[in-house]
Structure 1
């Protein structure tokens, strides 16, 4: 990192919240995450309102306070003030045993309360005040109050000590921001010029940030989307008054690409601090150990060693996972929690979707708490729909309940037994194998709540037992209970009856994540959702809950029709009932194509069953052609080996499942891949839950859009993604065969890329790519 200006420079100090000031200066001792079933954010808010509602009419809630000390402005909201008793209250919610609240946590709470105490005394010229910590047990609604009478002078001394402890760091950070602003204000584009389409995307991102709007952008592979989205936000950093940029990805591989692209965009902004967040289980140095000082050496004394680790980490411009681990271990602190600390002191954070969009998202909560102005980039945003549905769904498995009961203590078993009885009662008279309910039956809900409460109390009293199937079931049940409270038209209760082969299940199944995600979009100054396949825009805007004024950019492809020979095979049906008759035609065409132009090809099928049938027949008919196949549950090394078979100058056919690991995210330029066969429209399975979704979406969005939103759009997106493996650069050329006459229908062709020129052909005349065919008469139906 380049040398910073003298700390006495006049760069303004950034305001600091009371919470952040105290966390910086008053935390000491161990990390301690011994199992405590902590309240949710919603429960915490409700707890605060409960306590405040119990007070007299003169009681002041959420008292806004601000105070400056030597150029540092400290701000925050005190939970409550009783002017009659001159008592300032700091409210904390917990669940379980009050004695389980650790001493270092309580010390932090006192620091916060006393900081507010001095700020209040200063604002209202009070000579003294009673400072009270009010602990509310969410389960029992009982309050435990700790009080201390404090003079204003004593409170002032403590406040000034905290500020002085923080001041040197604050001045360093002010200098960092001043230097960074100068570098970003003159940041140049990292290439000699923009690629085709890249300028359109970059300008769209800049306009969206400047006007505080969200943006949906569809841009083809190969134009440099990472640079085109990060560069305008970095270049406009000062003008847009940005505090943080969050770059969110769906997959681990996406983070590596993001880090590389951000480094390229900001290559002359050497002060830019970039941080990578990685899941705890992937960076834990002592897996299987609890996060507290008695079990983990990296948790013992964590806050005592954090200042030196933080000082070294902040000097690293690129805090990727490897660098973070090196710094953390050098100071004997936990890499995962060091990374969380460094979010405060980084400019760009690269992380998974869940850090912003999940119900308990860390980055979202911190940004709201610190009132940061954040820009959010959502890479490969077509993945966000299914990921968000998963975040706001909660499955419960009957077998898991039985495993939990088997190890449950005697005092907990009756509540688990009652839950099982009510569960069984719900499914006893269920007419179909799978049905959807609009709400959780009252008796089942009551039994679930009782079981969650009993387990929470058990773990609070015996945290050492928080492991194994009992803990796993508790977390699943708690998640289910919380989502059941929010159950509305966006979700359903899915009930699957037990069978001889499989146990039954219940699930809160989210269909439309929009109601949950709207607050996330509102919390950013701009969110840019970009992907190579993000059409139709209205579909993603409706399903994700993007604001109505969201801007749209559809970047024209740099590729040309002459690069990709697209053929719809109209005499092959890939419907389940027609596959026995179609399979010989399909495999014969793949074989003839390979014989005519040997090279590497990918063939996609709708299921592993269909894939296995096609592969077996192809191998019998064409034994001399090398083949390799995707299998269910492939490990990372096996996936890498599959991709590695596509060697430059090689030949053969890879068989894969549409929508799987090889349908997107793999790059096979040049002659590593010269053709793709797609034997499916990709339509989701026609089952009870998808039909429920179709009906719900018809009601929610009208105009018969339920079918398109449930089946057609998700299916065609997978097709376009898979087809996109062929043409990766402006120099590539290849062939694409789409098997099924339904691809020729106008409503389907309208969803295919505009730069494709689609020809119709038959398997008995495959050489005639432009042979005309009759318009298919059959309706689109899910497979």
Structure 2
């Protein structure tokens, strides 16, 4: 086989594919963190002394496969190759199929070592390091080169058939994508410019920050060029990442339009084409990743073979399930569930496996950007060239802040101390004492006491508290390692909180702050709050070949460049709006103040404005407010003054069915006003075209509350970027306003009105941040302007 056509596989991938068997077992066992694993490997190397070779690169051609990987360590003097694994607790509780997988990896490395260095035999050692105690357990086998070569050859034969099918699929996929045509007669206005920008990003391996107006078809306008770029620029995967479930649905719909899901036609029409509604499917594997709680078929059951029938024998049935899934190709949530049901396996973990083998993955942004993200881990391990598409990217700053923040709740500790096993009483008591010390030193009063704050930003992470927390976490993990069935859910939750907090504390810097909030007697919450996600996200963008971040509200570009850590070569593109100014009437009620001190006085003119506009043009409207309390105050006043006008309101914690019912009120023939909060579920990502929504009222500037936290955020952003007020208050507030207003005009035929109710909307610095195609009061005219592509 020529070098160009040689099939390649990593040792870990080879063994995961061929040597796993038995049950899926994801019952809780305390596992070392990635950092602890790295430290454990370094400790083993330190103990071995001079001459010990660490991270030994090995490769060889076996059964037509180029197999490569890095063995953990090799002692030339003893001719001993070591595979190092870190763990916590009692090693005897490790599942046998996990131990068999470890031996398979060691044997594969041993075979490559003997072949590369001409050894007749070698000693293989599995080294298990218990990270809590530093105790090392050593298991050895002395094997000759022929036996090891036969073992590796057997694995390679089992894998090669799959690898050849994968190579054939890749060839079919790329050939089809070379001829992929846009699914409509022409692009929408602005859509072509966006598609060209996305393709150039993939071609040059850059990041594109694309602001494009609502209604031009951004999802299709970014997916199409990335798919076209796959064969031309050797992309392995396209990952479409969303903030919310509706974004996944839009991506899957666009992929259907492109032919990723279709029916194989057999009959032909006179012109030689397929009959109407029947088409050949694009040979593209598409996977939708869903959250574990939504995919689980047996909620409430533990995730191991003794408790769940879909976990029992999972790895024995996985090969057939994997084959059935890739043959189907289209694997949205329901299709994946159907395959899993037919094969008797867990749909969630089948999806995790198929993330390795699908061409396009549609899922939440956490799958790439979270600290333990699945897709990022696979891309790094397999050296994929990835094209990232990030939908509604204006939300990524806040989402990423949440990913890299953690909290500790004093009340959880107090409850746990009353029920904890005796072995944990001392470390938990020490932690409780440190808690009290932190609260006392911060000088926090009971919540609600006048003159004394219930919130304070600390100078840094309290070192004594952190030490006690690390001690408690270590004690809990040791206990659970020895008593895996004896840990309560409360104990596990405290451990998860403690581990998350301590790991973030290790990386604490000017990108985060530590704060303490008092919520009444006996309850304080200690938080590590990420303020600047850039420090954590920058490596994630570097790991992608190309990335396209798109939204209707990404200006100013510097805000997202700075806070997301985008590469220096990132390109900024502003796509001209296809909408005319006369499609949208924009009014500013500068006589109304929605500031907190003026709320009471603002209600009457807001009610009058809503009723007056409704009477002038009856139809469906949305009215947005800064909080649920403000919303309810205005809605109650409106309902009392105008009882014949239908109203419905968003409420806290609405279930998915309730949200659907709220939106279902917006019918083409409907009339009434829906009350909602700015920045909530109905302020973005909602498509109500035509007469389904003809107007929106925004009774707030959208500014975050002026409180101690946001003032600390402002100070930190000012120190780092020199843009404290803008980055902490104005930009995020106006993004929410423009998103909410963007619900009104969704297509070229739409007509509507937006009423901005606050005197600050009349200020020049605020007006300058509103969309350029809007004709604001006092503005002679408005136009979208040319598409602008520059580097920020």
State the TM-score bracket (shorter-chain normalisation): over 0.9
Distance across 1 between alignment mates of 2:613 and 2:210: 36
Equivalent residue in structure 2 for 1:675, among 691, 695, 698? 695
Q: Which residue of 2 aligns with 1:460?
A: 481
Distance across 1 between alignment mates of 2:675 and 2:333: 34
In 1, are the aligned partners of 2:63 and 2:157 still within 8 Å (CA)?
Answer: no
Whether 2:405 is the aligned partner of 1:393: answer yes
Equivalent residue in structure 2 for 1:538, among 534, 538, 558? 558
**Deviation of residue 121 (structure 1)?**
0.9
Whether 2:515 is the aligned partner of 1:494: answer yes
Distance across 1 between alignment mates of 2:364 and 2:173: 25
Q: Which residue of 1 aligns with 2:461?
A: 440
Query: For 2:213, what is the secondary structure of its paired residue?
Result: coil
Q: CA RMSD in A?
A: 1.7
Equivalent residue in structure 2 for 1:752, among 766, 770, 775? 770
Equivalent residue in structure 2 for 1:349, among 356, 361, 371? 361
CA distances 1:138-176 after superposition (whole Å, capped 9, x unpaired) = 112222111111111111010101101111111111111
Equivalent residue in structure 2 for 1:661, among 681, 694, 719? 681
- Is there any run of 5+ residues in structure 1 with no aligned partner, and where? 1-7, 761-769, 772-783
CA distances 1:468-506 after superposition (whole Å, capped 9, x unpaired) = 212112111111111111111111111012425x83211
Equivalent residue in structure 2 for 1:86, among 61, 66, 79? 79
**Deviation of residue 437 (structure 1)?**
2.0
Q: Which residue of 1 aligns with 2:545?
A: 525
Equivalent residue in structure 1 for 2:282, among 266, 270, 273? 270
Query: For 1:465, what is the secondary structure of its paired residue?
Result: coil
Whether 2:636 is the aligned partner of 1:616: answer yes
Q: Which residue of 2 aligns with 1:472?
A: 493
- Is there any run of 5+ residues in structure 2 with no aligned partner, and where? 261-279, 444-452, 781-792
Whether 2:332 is the aligned partner of 1:320: answer yes
**Deviation of residue 13 (structure 1)?**
4.7
Whether 2:636 is the aligned partner of 1:583: answer no
Whether 2:181 is the aligned partner of 1:188: answer yes
Q: Which residue of 2 aligns with 1:172?
A: 165
Distance across 2 between alignment mates of 1:311 and 1:590: 58
CA distances 1:437-478 after superposition (whole Å, capped 9, x unpaired) = 242222111110111011101111111134421211211111
Q: Which residue of 2 aligns with 1:781?
A: none
Distance across 2 between alignment mates of 1:284 and 1:586: 46
Question: Once structures 1 and 2 are overlaid, which stretch shifts more, 281-290 or 555-564?
Answer: 281-290
Q: Within 5 A, what are the aligned runs for 1:42-441?
A: 42-267=35-260, 270-431=282-443, 432-441=453-462
User: Judging changes above 3 Å, is the alpha-carbon distance between structure 1 residues 576 and 534 closer, same or farther for their aligned structure 2 residues?
Assistant: same
Whether 2:704 is the aligned partner of 1:684: answer yes
**Deviation of residue 579 (structure 1)?**
2.1
CA distances 1:386-440 after superposition (whole Å, capped 9, x unpaired) = 1111111111112222222232111112211211111111111324321112422
TM-score, with normalisation over the residues of structure 2?
A: 0.93
Distance across 2 between alignment mates of 1:466 and 1:320: 36
Q: Which residue of 2 aligns with 1:38?
A: 31
Aligned positions, number: 752
Distance across 1 between alignment mates of 2:298 and 2:289: 18
Query: For 1:566, what is the secondary structure of its paired residue?
Result: strand
Distance across 1 between alignment mates of 2:100 and 2:191: 53
In 2, are the aligned partners of 1:606 and 1:658 still within 8 Å (CA)?
Answer: yes
**Deviation of residue 9 (structure 1)?**
13
In 2, are the aligned partners of 1:200 and 1:555 still within 8 Å (CA)?
Answer: yes
In 1, are the aligned partners of 2:242 and 2:365 still within 8 Å (CA)?
Answer: yes
Distance across 1 between alignment mates of 2:88 and 2:459: 30
Query: For 2:51, what is the secondary structure of its paired residue?
Result: coil
Q: Which residue of 2 aligns with 1:701?
A: 721
In 2, are the aligned partners of 1:226 and 1:262 still within 8 Å (CA)?
Answer: no
In 1, are the aligned partners of 2:189 and 2:216 still within 8 Å (CA)?
Answer: yes
Distance across 1 between alignment mates of 2:106 and 2:769: 58
In 2, are the aligned partners of 1:403 and 1:470 still within 8 Å (CA)?
Answer: no
Query: For 1:527, what is the secondary structure of its paired residue?
Result: strand
Query: For 2:777, what is the secondary structure of its paired residue?
Result: strand
Distance across 1 between alignment mates of 2:119 and 2:236: 36
User: Judging changes above 3 Å, is the alpha-carbon distance between structure 1 residues 679 and 322 closer, same or farther for their aligned structure 2 residues?
Assistant: same
**Deviation of residue 582 (structure 1)?**
2.5
Query: For 1:720, what is the secondary structure of its paired residue?
Result: helix
In 2, are the aligned partners of 1:129 and 1:152 still within 8 Å (CA)?
Answer: yes
Equivalent residue in structure 1 for 2:734, among 701, 716, 738? 716
Distance across 2 between alignment mates of 1:347 and 1:153: 38
**Deviation of residue 385 (structure 1)?**
1.1
Query: For 1:494, what is the secondary structure of its paired residue?
Result: strand
Query: For 2:216, what is the secondary structure of its paired residue?
Result: coil
Query: For 1:286, what is the secondary structure of its paired residue?
Result: coil
Distance across 1 between alignment mates of 2:496 and 2:322: 32
Misfit runs of 4+, over 4 Å: 8-11, 266-269
Distance across 1 between alignment mates of 2:542 and 2:295: 32
Distance across 2 between alignment mates of 1:269 and 1:80: 48
Distance across 1 between alignment mates of 2:595 and 2:152: 72
**Deviation of residue 525 (structure 1)?**
0.2
User: Judging changes above 3 Å, is the alpha-carbon distance between structure 1 residues 43 and 67 closer, same or farther for their aligned structure 2 residues?
Assistant: same
Whether 2:580 is the aligned partner of 1:560: answer yes
Q: Which residue of 1 aligns with 2:271?
A: none
CA distances 1:525-569 after superposition (whole Å, capped 9, x unpaired) = 011111111111110111111111111111111111100011111
Distance across 2 between alignment mates of 1:503 and 1:254: 38
Equivalent residue in structure 1 for 2:21, among 18, 22, 28? 28
Q: Which residue of 2 aligns with 1:728?
A: 746
Distance across 2 between alignment mates of 1:95 and 1:333: 28
Query: For 2:527, what is the secondary structure of its paired residue?
Result: strand
